[in-house]
Homo-oligomer: A and B are copies of this chain.
Amino acid sequence: MAKSQEGNMDVDYVISYHFTKTDKATALAKFEKLVEALASVGLQTEVRNGESQSVLLFLRVASDEHLFGEVYRSRVRDWIHGVRAAAPPKETREALEAEPLYEAERLRIIYQLITHPQSEGGAGITPKEGEWENVHSLFALHDKAYNDDWMKKWRTSYFLKTEDLDDIRNRFGEKIAFYFAFTQSYFAFLLFPAVFGTGAFLLLGHFSPIYGIVSALWCTVFTEYWKHQEVDLGVRWGVRGVSKIEHRRRDFRHEKLITDPITGESVGLFPVKKRLQRQLWQVPFALTAALLLGTLIATCFGIEVFISEVYNGPLKWLLVFIPTGILTAVMPVLTTFLTSMATQLTQYENYETHAAYETSLTQKMFVLNFITSYLGIFLTAFVYVPFGNIIVPHLDIFSVAVRPFAQNEKQLAGPEADWTINPDRLRKQVIYFTVTAQLVNLAMELIVPKLKLRGGKWFKKYQSDRAAKNGGTTPNPAANDPPEDAAFLKRVREEAELEVYDVTTDLREMVIQFGYLSLFSVVWPLTAVSFVINDWMELRADAMKIAEVMQRPTPWRADTIGPWLDSLSFLTWLGSVTTSALVYLFSNDGLGPDGHPANIKLWALLLTILLSEHAFFLVRKGIQFAISKLDSPGLQQERRERFLVRKQYFEENLNQLKSIPKMVDAGEEITKESLEEDARRGSLKESTPEVRFWGRQKGWKETVTVGKNLIERYEIEASPEEKKEL
């Protein structure tokens, strides 16, 4: 058994049952129902006081025998879906001995036991949803000892080894392990562009085509290699093919019931056409998002350009921050609004499976993040630089923002005659996004949850103090704790208040970061250096986040980073376009325009893009081919497993065949039999032409004799003249 956590009182899961919003009678009835449902699937329960109008329900599997059954069932299901090559041994105990349960597997199966609908053998508890609104959270307890070890180990090691990833997989499940594996892989790959980028920065200058080509190549190799790596890890962790197992969404609303032509069961159906119609809303959604975010970003961009390059009145140093201020204030509101729109739209699209839902939501999130992350740089590179001379004179519409500070109209007037585009603006912007923003983000990720925690505690204390002043008491949940459980219960109460970890947020962050490298690093080749430093910390910060400021995540399985992989491929492709365009637009080597937009030739730009894009397609095919030739321990292991299974099946099924004798001397034997047969048939009725045809040569030896005869006769019959000529 993989239950090795010390200090957790053998607890498998904890349910935090809140009754704040429900009237007492319902709360009591529901509580009884909850405990009964849990008991019905073989879970032992204990209840204790929780914080702020809640009780904590501790769960553990009552009988190992029961759990084994569930594990076996899950493994058989895996086998049938092709996740595992061979059927698990029929004897459950044997199966578990051959392949012991790891902690994440145990926790996943218990989680499913609790949450699966009753029709599938679960207790049907759905936290925060429908009937079970009062079930505020369902979480496993952190393994303090392991977490401390983990943190200590990571703080002192530079690289994560595959064993470290295995460890994460065993504790937190494959989905989170895949995030760490991806980030680690990305981190390792980053070392090359970091070194090469430094060299390019020192030797080649900015916008170097050589750096551009190498960077595009690197991005492609990384993306393709990661796809290969995913397969390898999937096999290593025994989860390859897991993403193909479909999990029906509980929220799926069917339009009508049909009888499945395959299973004969009655299933809910939602017409594809109707979903397609709903999906079409994605277009106005994307346009709205682009319009809203684009207007915001373009406005701030315009104000910024105006202030820094047109305005020359007082307080310029301060006013320059106006757009940043606007962005900081408005952007979060807008993205929160759009994210909620995206979620609602995805729900409205009414997908049947979790995977389809996730994919659709991820795509929308990618569009939003793409706009917020990259649009600013796109504006600078492809609007400000080529069309700056046309646009900047019109920016005086933004003078309204600084008019109060201007001393005279001249300070707000259009650019001077000798105004030229500031080529450094692009570089500064890229550095801002790839260094400053990354660091700020990292800090936020670590500090905000801690502040929230502290704030929450403070608020609670403040509340109870106030209640005390008012003569009442906020009941102290720990009041009746037995001394020996007190520390444990305190910890559980704290964990119950923590937030739930969402790995896709972290994954998205990495993919968006990769985008900067792929799309814009030619502007500033040190990008990768910044990312190497940032990601080293990021990996550790994320580990810390999981271990200390979040509830222990439910260990889900995965065999891929999912739809983000498509985003990665998309960014790699787009990189081949932007990099070549940037190299052409900003090239310093005299041929290109370099801040003289008049020199930009549209045909040359288009030709550059066209050639570079097609070179990319070609090279990607080559890289895919080369990587497909790579062998890996995972692939070997998979082939070995498959081979053994095949061999076993083959032997099992063909054993009986061997009992049929091979007719080595078939000639005689058969002939005798068939002769008799012929004779018999001949005597019964007239023999057929077939029987006579096959009866002429009796056995293979006679065929040989006749044949030899025919061959020799030919030689004799042929005239000597004829033979000479031949």
Contact = CB atoms under 8 A, between A and B. Distances in A.
Interface of A: 9-10, 17, 19-20, 24, 27-28, 31-32, 35-36, 38-49, 53, 55, 57-58, 60, 62-63, 65-66, 69, 72-73, 76-77, 79-81, 87, 90, 92, 261-263, 272, 276, 467, 470-475, 484-485, 488, 601-603, 606-607, 609-610, 629, 636, 639-640, 643, 646-647, 649-650, 653-654, 656-657, 660, 662-667, 670-671, 674, 689-690, 692-694, 696-697, 699-700, 703-704, 706-708, 710-715, 717-722, 726
Contacts of A609: 610
A475 B697 contact: no
Contacts of A656: 90
Task: Give 9 nearest A-B pairs by CB, closest first.
Answer: A472-B719, A39-B700, A603-B603, A606-B606, A475-B717, A47-B707, A602-B603, A45-B703, A262-B640
B35 A703 contact: yes
A697 B45 contact: yes
Given A39-B666, A47-B710, A66 B261 contact: no
Contacts of A689: 9, 484-485
Given A47-B706, A603-B603, A72 B700 contact: no
15 contacts: A27-B711, A28-B712, A31-B711, A32-B708, A38-B700, A47-B706, A72-B654, A76-B650, A76-B653, A80-B649, A80-B650, A467-B721, A467-B722, A472-B722, A484-B692
Contacts of A484: 689, 692
A660 B69 CA distance: 8
A708 B711 CA distance: 103
A144 to B, nearest CB: 15
A104 to B, nearest CB: 22
A40 B663 contact: yes
A467 B719 contact: yes
A666 B718 CA distance: 97
B606 A35 contact: no
Contacts of A710: 47-49, 55
B690 A28 contact: no
A660 B700 contact: no
Given A24-B715, A31-B707, A261-B636, A485 B693 contact: yes
Contact of A24 (B32, B65, B485, B712): B712
A80 B10 CA distance: 44
Nearest to A479: B717
Contact of A62 (B472, B629, B674, B713): B674
A76 B654 CA distance: 8
A674 to B, nearest CB: 7
Contacts of A647: 263
A47 B703 contact: yes
Contacts of A708: 28, 31-32
A643 B472 contact: no
A632 to B, nearest CB: 12
Contacts of A694: 9-10, 44, 46, 60
Given A31-B708, A610-B606, A696-B46, A62 B663 contact: yes
A654 to B, nearest CB: 6
Contact of A42 (B44, B57, B662): B662
Given A473-B717, A718-B475, A262 B636 contact: yes
A46 B711 contact: no
A453 B716 CA distance: 28
Most interface-central of A35, A38, A602, A712 (chain B CB within 10 A): A35
A666 B62 contact: yes
A40 B664 contact: yes
B73 A711 contact: no
A63 B670 contact: yes
A110 B272 CA distance: 47
Contact of A653 (B53, B87, B726): B87
Contacts of A69: 657, 660
A666 B40 contact: yes
Contacts of A47: 697, 703, 706-707, 710
A665 to B, nearest CB: 8
A78 to B, nearest CB: 12
Contacts of A601: 603
A697 B31 CA distance: 15
